[in-house]
Amino acid sequence: MYDESTTSLRVAIVTGAARGIGAAIARRLASDGAAVALLDLDADGCEKVAAEIRGSGGRAWAGSVDVTDSGRVEAAVEAVVTELGPPTVLVNNAGITRDNLLFKMTEDEWDAVMDVHLKGAFLMSRTVQRHMTAQGYGRIVNISSISALGNRGQANYASAKAGIQAFTKTLALELGKFGVTVNSVAPGFVVTEMTAATAERLGLTFEDYQNKAAEQAAVRRVGRPEDIAHAVAFLAAEDSSYISGQVLYVAGGPVN
Ligand code: NAD
């Protein structure tokens, strides 16, 4: 239970933290000294990562959320306030893909992707900003993607990830005067279950898919979740107070 008199720790919320990039962000923010709330549809997955963080001496709490559901978002954030204290960092990382070429893309595939990425980031940010503006301090980091620049088979996802960048810049304008910075990290290819599923859909082994991605990157390797966590930690740091409304591409090279 949070006790204001005994803790001055920063409190970070990471959505989609049960695995992949979100889990790596949670681990990294915890090792940087934050008390971390891990939220996901998969609460058991979050609890595994949270237990691991606690095992290495960090503070972590796992909860369940569906970021597309305003009631569950409100309840999850309230639980974080009770368990860890008012949030000072929010990482909107939860995401899904529903890839298809335009002529085959269903309305459900479009809506599902818009809901998780855009509505999810909106609901989480709207709920959490209350606590940040009240404290006169906050860091919001939204996970975009290089797909925001356009990607075949991802009309829904590319649009959502481009929307995340506009959302980021707008929130930066609105919240700056309250001591809240808002930035975005746009990853390139990162080895997670999401890219493993894409490989399967394309009929490639994951290894072949990774080799192809590595060949296309200037640094000739694929990204790891920790690479993204590193960029998020930088933007979430107290010292990053003069950086806001930015999109940091973390893709092993320039993007176009
Ligand atoms: P992942 O599929 O491994 O993990 C995503 C997590 O989000 C899962 O644990 C899932 O349960 C959770 N989630 C999905 N819908 C949710 C909802 N409605 N409410 C709460 N949680 C929900 O994916 P990842 O590769 O770790 O991706 C993390 C983020 O990074 C996503 O926003 C993704 O779009 C973005 N991204 C990934 C890559 C990549 O190459 N892996 C590249 C660019 C951007």
Instruction: Evaluate: CB of 42 within 6 angstroms of ligand 1.
Output: yes
Helix ranges (DSSP H) in 136-219:
155-175, 193-202, 206-216
Q: Which has the minimum average pLDDT: 4-18, 50-64, 152-166?
A: 4-18
Ligand 1: residue whose CA is nearest its atom 19 = 66
Residue 139: CB within 6 Å of ligand 1? no
Model confidence pLDDT, tens digit, residues 87-105: 999 999 999 999 999 999 9
- Enter the DSSP assignment of 102: G
Instruction: Please tell me the predicted confidence (pLDDT) of residue 43.
Output: 97
- Return the pLDDT at 1: 58
Q: Is 157 a catalytic residue?
A: yes
User: Is the CB of 11 inside a 6 Å radius of any atom of ligand 1?
Assistant: no
Between the CA of 16 and the centroid of ligand 1 the distance, in Å, is 6
Residue-averaged pLDDT of the chain: 96
Provide, rounded to the nearest whole percent, the portion of the chain with pLDDT above 90.
96
Q: Is the CB of 64 under 6 A from ligand 1?
A: no
Q: What does each C-alpha distance from 71 to 16, 49, 75 come to in angstroms? A: 17, 25, 6
Pocket test for ligand 1, best of 48, 144, 194 (most atoms within 8 A of CB): 194
Instruction: Determine the pLDDT at residue 6.
Output: 43
Please give the CATH topology (third level) of the domain spanning 4-187+227-248. Answer: Rossmann fold (3.40.50)
Q: Where in the chain is the domain with CATH 3.40.50.720?
A: 4-187+227-248
Mean pLDDT for 32-60 is: 98
Q: What is the pLDDT of residue 3?
A: 57
**Tens digits of per-residue pLDDT, 130-177?**
999 999 999 999 999 999 999 999 999 999 999 999 999 999 999 999
pTM over 0.95: yes
For residue 24 and ligand 1, the question of a CB distance below 6 A is answered with no
Query: Cα of 17 to ligand 1 centre, how many Å?
Result: 8
From the alpha carbon of 225, which atom of ligand 1 is closest? 26
Q: Is the pLDDT of residue 237 over 70?
A: yes
Ligand 1 atom closest to Cα of residue 190: 40
Judge whether residue 18 has pLDDT over 70.
Answer: yes
Residue of 2, 137, 157, 209 marked active site: 157
Q: In the structure, what pLDDT confidence band is assigned to residue 7 with cuts at 50, 70 and 90?
A: very low
Give the residue among 189, 119, 200 at the shortest CA–CA distance from 151.
189
221 has pLDDT over 50: yes
Instruction: Measure 92 CA to ligand 1 centroid, in angstroms.
Output: 10
Mean pLDDT across 205-212: 98
Torsions phi, psi for 207 (to 5 deg):
-65, -45
State which of 15, 39, 40 you would mutate to test the pocket of ligand 1, scoring each by most atoms of that ligand within 8 A of its C-beta.
40
CA angle 233, 234, 240 (to 5 degrees): 125
Query: Under 8 Å CB-to-CB from 77, ≥6 apart: which residues?
Result: 13, 87, 124, 127, 128, 131
